[in-house]
Structure 1
Amino acid sequence: MQNTKRRRFMIPLISLLTVAALLTGVALVGNSFRFDQRAVTIPGPEGDLAGVLTLPPEGAARGLVVMVHGDGPVEATQGGLYSPWFEGAADAGFATLSWSKPGVGGSEGDWLGQTMDDRAEEVSAAVDWAVAQDDVPTGTIVLWGASQAGWVIPKVARDREDIDGVVAVGTAINWLRQGRFNLLAELERDDATTQEQEAAIEESDRTRSLLERGASYEEYLSAAAGADTMTEARWGFVRRNFEADATADLVASASRPVPVLLMAGTKDRNVDVAETEETYRSIFGSTLTVTRVDGAHSLARPVMEDNDLAGLLTGTFWPRALFAPGVIDGYT
């Protein structure tokens, strides 16, 4: 009887081990990418920045992509989620430089203390570092920027003569209009009642009024009615940046005929991509290429942003499948 019981116990254990081995194998295959990568340290305005330089696995790279993150505490590889972008650039013969934001992943400083001008200064310092390295290919330099980077990369392209191209992913034009668009889109998604919509808009208007008169964090807290109140550091960040508008910097950057690729998700609830496209077209004209995909704000398949479990599992086992069809191929 003891042997029988042991065998009965071992069968499910063996099954679990088999499943674990299969999942491990899938994860290894799904996270095997066509690039080589090494850690780098970049001197930034606030201290050293911990970064990664990604290179094609074979042959010399013919240019460099400099990645400019969106909002939030983003690490150099975004936890591995940038790997498809790294691979797409490597397939085109380009290296990619990316670094963790100040205060994140070993980088010194505090990203919440920055303005958009500070962020642009940081990007420019990273480009200067790359140009000074003998083993970093900077004959052609492309800025890749997502979301909030839409207020950063035009400043860099405006001020530098060595930027040869721009890839803008889900970028906005005006901070306040973007916030209102996002609020209304989320309310619509959640099937909010008229009363809920009115309350949310009233709260948003109240916060905007506080920002416009430079209210302290204590004033904000006493007036905040919603559950999702900002931290003091976040309030300071928003107060320094809420007036951001990319239009003037975009116009200034267009003085040089640098090709711009705008990549927009048709299911983007964060940014009014129609406004962005219209503005970019009016400024860049024939130097602009627009790629629209059936994706969300990050250009992921919409289900990946709407379903946390689906996004987590896909990001863990097969990151390439996160993105809407055509995203990485179009980028390459």
Structure 2
Amino acid sequence: MKSVYDIAIIGAGPAGIATSCEAVIFGVKNILMFEKGENHSQTIRKYFNDNKPVDKDWKGIEVELKGHIDFKDGTKESTLDLFEESLEKRVIDAKFKTEISQISRLKNRFKIITTTGESYFAKRVVIAIGKMGKPNKPDYKIPVTLKNRANHTISDCKGNEDVLVVGGGDSACEYAYFIHQDNKVTFNYRREKITKANPKNIKNLMNCVEDKEIDLKLGIDIKKVEDEKGKFKVFYTNGEIGRYDRIIYALGGVTPKEFLKSCCVEFDEKSKPYINHKNLNTQGVYLAGDICGSIGGSIALALNHGYNIIMDCMSQEFALEAKSA
């Protein structure tokens, strides 16, 4: 028989890191972490701009940290350094470049199968994969010839381009603000007002609009997109037509329901993953981070999820020891 891990953690973002670190601190010996990317914190690395401010109290919601990771206001770089340091202090078996295809429940353990066919066993499973691994896409089709310039981040923006940023959240506001000095930027959001983003990001965006550095299109949606001589020809619902070199879709992420269903996760009557105040979904299965449906992007809440999970695991262990005694 293969060894049975005490906890298997799917995802090495803030929630997964917190769960693993808290587990080590509270004496859990056998911990296994899976991450399909090459390193931890892939969402932060991929979707956060360099030197992006990272706030502990995201969107003005004050969060009192419960665990042992001393997270404070900082930048993308300082946040990554903090998590790197936290992981280096702990002895954790981490398998990067490893994707999970299915988790099945056995009598008293879970069988975890990777996409390459390897299998592992664990007493408990923590799913902390976030949502940005599966970003939302527009309903209309993107011309095949232009797909390499229909992006979800600004990492491919080279400058001197006409760029359309689509979305109404923090990522959209930050992307537009960050690239506007080197590109001609148009910001499009289908609603009349931006309400989802952090007030600081909205202010930065609107200041650029007032200075005529960013063209703002609110309350207008996109009907379709065509390829016109290598450019995006965008047809808006108000009859306008725009032409752009690149489109950045900052539409958020979606819950990967089919994957979760294949991992023993149960859903409520609204088809959302169920969790209680201890982040427990069903016996032995926990959810952590954005996948829980809490305030998207709150690193502090994700860290608290990890603490909640380990506290629940420890209380169950104490209960089992008392019962056997």
| Both proteins in one fold, TM over 0.5 | no
Write 1 or 2 for the structure with the bigger share of strand.
2
Q: TM-score range by the shorter chain?
A: under 0.3
Flag the structure with more relative contact order, 1 or 2, with Cα contacts below 8 A and sequence separation at least 6: 2
Q: TM-score, normalised by structure 2?
A: 0.27
Provide TM-score, normalisation by structure 1. Answer: 0.27
> Counting helix residues as a fraction of each chain, which structure ranks higher?
1
